[in-house]
Structure 1
Amino acid sequence: MIKTIVVHIDGSARQDSRLCAAARLACEHEAHLVGSASTGISWVDVALLAGSVEPPVPVVDVDALRATARQRLEAFTTQAARLGVASIEARLAEEDAAFGLLLQSRYADLLVLSQDPAQAGKGESTPRGLPAHLALHGVRPVLVVPETYGDAPIAGTVVAGWDGSSQALRAIDAALPLLCRAGSVKLVLVNPDTATGLHGEEPGADLALYLARHGVPVEVIVERTSATVGATLVQVARDSGAGLIVAGAYGHSRYREWVLGGATRELLERAPVPLLLAH
């Protein structure tokens, strides 16, 4: 079940779309929605303020950072209520965004973030690569929402990538509350013949049966293609009108993914709909 959702609050232009997605899920699952705003005050800042370290640079204005974060949380509370969320909590984290969200995600069912912008905007307070960092190092699934999301149904049609890996299985299990509500789930296998040891005699059949026993309306789609895994999942999502893509994060090492290019990286950059990742 999804009963606690944490959504990242940073006041950026992309916040509206991710809050819209988080609020929709909170309403559908009768979940508690936590808006988390970080002050960005690191342990180094604390040490400088305590006078234990000689400051090499001007000390941050802590009061101003806290005031800004509180203002963002007030706006979040108002907007979440307007979107119909019944149970709302505003949480101020005296940490940088990455550390604060990692800690809070331990006590939530889902963490909602935005897709990295194509280019860092002026005054952007959220570090690039935050979704990838939390998907790799966190213990809970991450929902990455594109800025173009506009309150469309998330679990109407779902595309779930399946390659037999433990990461893909964790993502699909994490998405079960959404898959059970879906009208259609496309279980997509891309070139499964290259990984015969991870599939049974009929690729996808065993997992489809597992999902069907949970009441998931599942259809197995086998794609034999020269396109990348990420591009194939995106195309199937577009063709089927899917509102959600589910995938395992970083089946290879993160270094290999980012140097050679991998499905996780491609999906984080190109997914046109919300993307649920788990590692």
Structure 2
Amino acid sequence: MTKTEPASRVTRPGDIFALVTATDPWSPAAVAGTAIASRWDADLTGCFIDPTLRKLAGGEAGDEPTVLGLLLEPRPDFADERAAFESFAHQSGVRNADWIVARAGVAATLRWLGARHDLAVLERDMVQASGLLDILGEAILGCRVPCLILPPQWRGEIRFERIVIGCNGSLEAIRAIHAALPFLKVAQQVVLVDGDLRDGDEGRPRFDPFVYLLRHGITPRPGYVRASSAMAGEILLKEVGNLGADLLVMGAYGRSRMRERVFGGATRRVLEEATVPVLMQH
């Protein structure tokens, strides 16, 4: 259960952007982003990426608009889309909403928008399954913003009443927990799955996720796991099912091998199989 905190200590995502894949009807990222922005009184940016540009891997998209993006004709209904999105957001209780159309791939768009936003909302199936890791996964690892990833065909509500946290003592996990504080503070149940609590590893200060959450008024039910990274993903997904959780929080893990990004087993498993929204941070 959570404890009530003074208003001055309650954090919130002040600027949110959603990578929208459809406007009629609005795609899940638009709906979820609007719900979060309304609940936490945040500003919202809706961003549409042309389906052709969504096919580009991170290395192809680059930091600048792609040649393909420059050749694409501007969408003639841009003004109508902007007005429709602003109306949709305002009717849902969002005070400030903006609409933009990206001219670059997913990775570059996430990096640029992530520099001035606190949270990204995106749909896992905005890319084909064959490009899940090379395109969407690379984009998540390459940006520096927490990403709320919605499962395919998601039509649920943003409640975040039961949350599972996966923590292995890494920087990625710590960042993910910190980013999730606004959601954890309103949850009814929080389960902390601690996979590898390290005490001063390599001279680093100790981070105890249980104590950290307690200091923020959050009392999680702890669970302790000793397993390989490949098994960690399976364990987290099983815990999500046991709790009936509506959010999973974890770090996004990857390392570079000769310019090729290699994903950790848990990141890969969760990204491929999660059936609830996942908050990831690299």
Q: How would you bin the TM-score normalised by the shorter chain? A: 0.7 to 0.9
Report if the CA contact (8 A) 1:17-1:147 is conserved. Answer: no
2:151 to 141, 146, 153: 146
TM-superposed CA distance for 1:81, in Å, is: 3.7
What is the CA distance between 1:235 and its match in structure 2?
Answer: 1.0
The equivalent residue for 2:241 is: 238
Q: Which runs of 5+ in 2 are unaligned?
A: 1-11, 54-63
Work out whether 1:37 is the aligned partner of 2:48.
Answer: yes
Counterpart residue identity of residue 222, structure 2:
V
Q: Distance in 2 between matches of 1:256 and 1:163?
A: 20
SS in 2 for 1:116: helix
Distance 2:251 2:44 in 1: 24
Change (3 A) 1:80 1:151: farther
Q: Matches of residues 98-117 of structure 1 in structure 2 within 5 Å?
A: 98-116=107-125
Per the TM alignment, residue 18 of structure 1 is displaced from its structure 2 partner at its CA by 2.0
Q: How does 1:178-197 map to 2 (within 5 A)?
A: 178-190=183-195, 192=196
1:57 paired residue number: none
Structure 1's unaligned 5+ residue stretches are 50-59, 122-126
Q: Is the 8 A contact 1:131 1:142 kept in 2?
A: no
Letter of the 1:95 counterpart: A
Shift of 1:11: 2.0
The match for 1:160 is 165
**SS of the counterpart of 2:76?**
helix
The answer for the alignment partner of 1:96 in structure 2 is: 105
Matches within 5 A, 1:219-238: 219-223=221-225, 228-238=231-241
Relative to structure 1, is the Cα distance of residues 225 and 15 closer, same or farther in structure 2, using a 3 angstrom cutoff?
farther
Letter in 1 for 2:280: L
Q: Which residue of 1 aligns with 2:27?
A: 16
- The answer to whether 1:172 aligns with 2:177 is yes
Q: Output the CA distance in 1 between the equivalents of 2:275 and 2:68.
A: 38
Specify the code of the residue in structure 2 equivalent to 1:110.
L
Cα drift, residue 152 of structure 1: 2.6
Per-residue deviation, 1:67? 2.5
Identity %: 31
Tell me, in whole angstroms, the C-alpha distance in 2 between the residues paired with 1:119 and 1:14.
20
1:177 Cα offset (Å): 1.5
Please provide the CA RMSD for this pair. Answer: 3.2
What secondary structure is seen at the aligned counterpart in 2 of 1:134? Answer: helix
Give the TM-score of the pair, scaled to structure 1. Answer: 0.76
How high is the TM-score relative to the length of structure 2?
Answer: 0.76
Map 1:55-66 to 2 at 5 A: 60-63=71-74, 66=75
5 Å-filtered alignment, 1:206-225, equals 206-223=208-225
AA paired with 2:13?
I
Q: Secondary structure of 2:279's match?
A: strand
Is the Cα contact below 8 Å between 2:66 and 2:103 reproduced in 1?
A: no
Change (3 A) 1:266 1:71: farther
Count of residue correspondences:
251
CA shift in 2, pair 1:25/1:231, >3 Å: same
Larger Rg: 1
Q: What's the offset of the Cα at 1:163?
A: 0.6
Q: Measure how far apart 1:14 and its partner are.
A: 10
Q: Does the 8 Å CA contact 1:146/1:271 hold for their aligned counterparts?
A: yes
